[in-house]
């Protein structure tokens, strides 16, 4: 799919597929025989979660949260509002938080605090993309990571710019002149 807003394809469909398959195999191996609950955040992780869990060959349950981040003029504050909470009880479960991208890490940090308070047996993070350059929260339990990516604004495979471009099958860099200098939504 060729789109004029994209300046560069960073990760092709094939690269994503190969990496996601490897992550699925690793996670299936590590969590075999445990009560795995995969928890994800709407909407950015939607394709990653769907592909990852489809490639896993162990029993698992899936649950969702939805959040909205407050992004002021001074960049991310880490303040997150829970718009939809989980349906599942986490007590004693092996919980894997699946994220599309971790940037400053403030969102994941907030979510992990909220999940940890519900007494899971174990809590870890799987992120498709790890944008380490802007990390503020340095102690996240990122057990699985798809790709380390540079500090560029990425869209596709679930990632959006103002809710658009999520459905691109690859991950691309959005052209600079399409990014207006206003607070971004997540």
**Spatial distance between the Cα atoms of 100 and 108, rounded to a whole number of angstroms:** 11
Q: How far is the CB of 42 from ligand IMP (least distance, A)?
A: 10
**How far from 102 is each of 33, 167, 176, 177, CA to CA, in Å?**
28, 19, 21, 24
Task: List the one residue from 44, 76, 158, 172 that touches Mg ion (CB under 5 A).
Answer: 44
Show which residues are catalytic.
103
Q: How far is the CB of 100 from Mg ion (least distance, A)?
A: 5
C-beta of 68 vs 89, nearer to ligand IMP: 68
**Residue whose C-alpha is closest to residue 39's, from 9, 67, 15:** 67
Q: How far is the CB of 121 from Mg ion (least distance, A)?
A: 26
Binding residues for ligand IMP, rule: CB under 6 A, are 44, 76, 100-108, 131, 153-155, 159, 186
**Spatial distance between the Cα atoms of 175 and 4, rounded to a whole number of angstroms:** 8
C-beta of 120 vs 158, nearer to Mg ion: 158
C-beta of 57 vs 116, nearer to ligand IMP: 116
Q: Which does 128 bind (CB under 5 to 8 A by kind): ligand IMP, Mg ion, none?
A: none
**How far from 141 is each of 4, 92, 98, 102, 169, CA to CA, in Å?**
37, 18, 12, 12, 28
Which H helix or E strand runs over 171? strand 171-174
Chain positions contacting Mg ion, by CB under 5 A: 44
């Amino acid at each position: 799919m060729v789109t004029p807003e994209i300046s560069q394809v960073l990760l092709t469909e094939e690269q994503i597929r190969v990496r996601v398959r490897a992550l699925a195999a690793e996670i299936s191996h590590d969590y075999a025989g445990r009560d795995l609950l995969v928890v994800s955040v709407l909407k950015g992780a939607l394709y990653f979660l769907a592909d990852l869990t489809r490639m896993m060959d162990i029993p698992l349950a899936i649950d969702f949260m939805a959040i909205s981040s407050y992004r002021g003029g001074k960049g991310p504050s880490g303040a997150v509002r829970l718009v939809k909470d989980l349906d599942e009880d986490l007590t004693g479960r092996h919980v894997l938080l699946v994220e599309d991208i971790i940037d400053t890490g403030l969102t994941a940090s907030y979510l992990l605090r909220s999940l940890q308070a519900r007494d899971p047996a174990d809590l870890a993070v799987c992120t498709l993309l790890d944008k380490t350059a802007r990390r503020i929260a340095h102690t996240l339990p990122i057990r699985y990571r798809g790709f380390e990516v540079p500090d560029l604004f990425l869209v596709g495979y679930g990632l959006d710019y103002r809710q658009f471009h999520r459905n691109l099958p690859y991950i691309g860099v959005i052209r600079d002149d399409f990014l207006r200098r206003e607070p971004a939504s997540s």
